[in-house]
Homo-oligomer: A and B are copies of this chain.
Amino acid sequence: MEDAQGHAAAAEFPFLRELARQFRDHGGPAAWDGLPDAEAVAPLLGRRDRRRGGRDAEPDPEVYWRIELFYRAVAVAIEARTGVACTPMLRMHHEAAGRVVVVAGRLVVVSKNLRDAHRFGFDDLSELVDAGERAVASGVALVERFPELARYPG
């Protein structure tokens, strides 16, 4: 359903549905096919330490992949609600610290500094959904506040 500006309503594109789709499409060898949304996003639940080996070991490369899928879902949801193309971009400074942004035109609609990337996750589904919907809502608000920058060509 679209409103008068051609934007999809938030209710039509809940964050959880999009995130579950990301895991089904990109989360691995069809492991999440057929699972309900709440189970497809299970890799993001729990804040366990995802390093291989001891405390100083590098994070499992899948750590970055989970972060990437979360912010891809944020980007897709903002795009669905605003009609503006959004790109997630992740940069790690070292193995556990970095920054993730979602970019629309010349606007950074979401920005998050990552610390302890190897612990990226949420205590439970409700915390995950809250964090995702909050990121999406603040991104949508920024697009609406600076529409000309969000639609800036190139």
Contacts and interface: CB of A to CB of B under 8 A. Distances in A.
A108 B103 contact: yes
B99 A101 contact: no
A96 interface: no
Given A113-B154, A149-B149, A154-B111, A142 B106 contact: yes
Given A111-B154, A113-B154, A149-B146, A87 B106 contact: no
Chain A residues touching B, majority SS? strand
A101 B89 contact: yes
Contacts of A147: none
Contact of A87 (B87, B99, B146, B154): B99
A72 to B, nearest CB: 11
A107 interface: yes
Nearest to A100: B89
